[in-house]
Amino acid sequence: MSAIGRRSRDDLGRAYVQALSRGLEWLQMEASVASLTFDQLARLAEVWVDDVRRQQARHRVIEALQFLHGRVASRWVRWADTFGLPQPPTTGDPVDIIASPYRLATDLRLGRYVAGLLPLYDTALAILAGDHAAKTDYELLSAPWRQVCLPSPFTPTTLYGPRTQLALSALSARRFPRSCLTQILCARRAIDNADWEAATDTVHKAALASGYPYRGKCLFREAVASAETAADESPTHPELAQALWGYSAVQAFHQQLTADGAALLAGPYRAGGRTPPPA
């Protein structure tokens, strides 16, 4: 197992984030990623300029984050999946992985899209560095995000919309008995992968139609963490994460999915006996 794989259950360290001097901003950051719109992406690309000052500030912040490089690299791997970017090699040097999204800005096929995302990467570095980085570096690197994404109408309690708490409560699998997890896993494996992928696609289309294209993927990353905690192994069975996400997604995207699609996605979770059967 790679070093990143070992860290994936809590890739940034819950205790570190809670003690972070800019911890509240990190929560705002995560909420803004889940609620990011294409309009915001376009505006971020317009205001982000990778000049020498920003490059130097980024280098200083990355140096200050040496003790956290592996965990930051793990987050970059997650974000590559969330944003649909090429995955960096997960067995590579963490510093190389941290640099990977910035190299994509030179790709003519991705340049404009990546330019809208890089302010988020810069902001994440600046926030996570906390008091280990100069305030001027934080202000420079986070300026585009603060200008475009703040104030946000969403908070950590509403980042998936009005049914956020219902969706997140479905991910409390750490309290499930092992027998329940086994039933959930078996029920998910009994569903044909093509049928599951088709139902999954309806969630991402619903997120896109709502104007927040990354909500489904961000919710899935939370389901992965929940599955790993519940199973006490990292990585764990992908089908377990899928099953937890499926039920959670049905809660978040209530009435935006077809009845058949919602029933299929919620079925494995319900098989664990943790919810009443649908009416």
**For the chain, what are the domain ranges?**
3-149, 164-271
pLDDT digits (tens, 9 = 90+) for 114-125: 999 999 999 999
Neighbouring residues of 171: CB distance < 8 A, sequence distance ≥ 6: 222, 223, 226, 244, 248
Supply 189's token pair.
């494996």
Task: With a cut of 80, say whether residue 201 has pLDDT above it.
Answer: yes
d(CA 45, CA 8): 29
Burial of 102 (0-12, 13-18, 19+ CB in 10 A): middle
Q: Average pLDDT for residues 202-214, to the nearest whole number?
A: 96
Neighbouring CB atoms inside 10 A of 271's CB total 18
* Confidence at residue 6, expressed as pLDDT on a 0 to 100 scale: 37
Rg (CA), the chain: 19
pTM for this model (two decimals):
0.90
* Confidence at residue 277, expressed as pLDDT on a 0 to 100 scale: 56
Q: CB-hemisphere CA count at 13 Å for 72?
A: 28
d(CA 268, CA 23): 35
pLDDT digits (tens, 9 = 90+) for 209-250: 999 999 999 999 999 989 998 988 888 999 999 999 999 999
Burial of 126 (0-12, 13-18, 19+ CB in 10 A): buried
> Where residue 19 falls among pLDDT bands split at 50, 70, 90?
confident
Can you list the alpha helix ranges (DSSP code H) found in the chain?
Answer: 3-7, 14-19, 23-34, 38-47, 52-64, 69-83, 94-103, 111-129, 135-149, 164-169, 178-189, 193-210, 215-231, 238-252, 259-271
pLDDT digits (tens, 9 = 90+) for 159-198: 999 999 999 998 987 788 999 999 999 999 999 999 999 9
d(CA 216, CA 101): 21
Residue closest to 264 by CA, chosen among 216, 210, 200, 170: 200
Task: With a cut of 70, say whether residue 31 has pLDDT above it.
Answer: yes
* Confidence at residue 274, expressed as pLDDT on a 0 to 100 scale: 77
Q: Average pLDDT for residues 67-76, to the nearest whole number?
A: 92
Contact status, residue 61 vs residue 137, Cβ threshold 8 Å: yes
pLDDT digits (tens, 9 = 90+) for 103-156: 998 886 788 899 999 999 999 999 999 999 999 999 999 999 999 999 999 999
| pLDDT above 90 coverage of the chain, percent | 77
> Which amino acid would we find at residue 96?
D
* Confidence at residue 9, expressed as pLDDT on a 0 to 100 scale: 55
* Confidence at residue 111, expressed as pLDDT on a 0 to 100 scale: 83
Task: With a cut of 70, say whether residue 41 has pLDDT above it.
Answer: yes
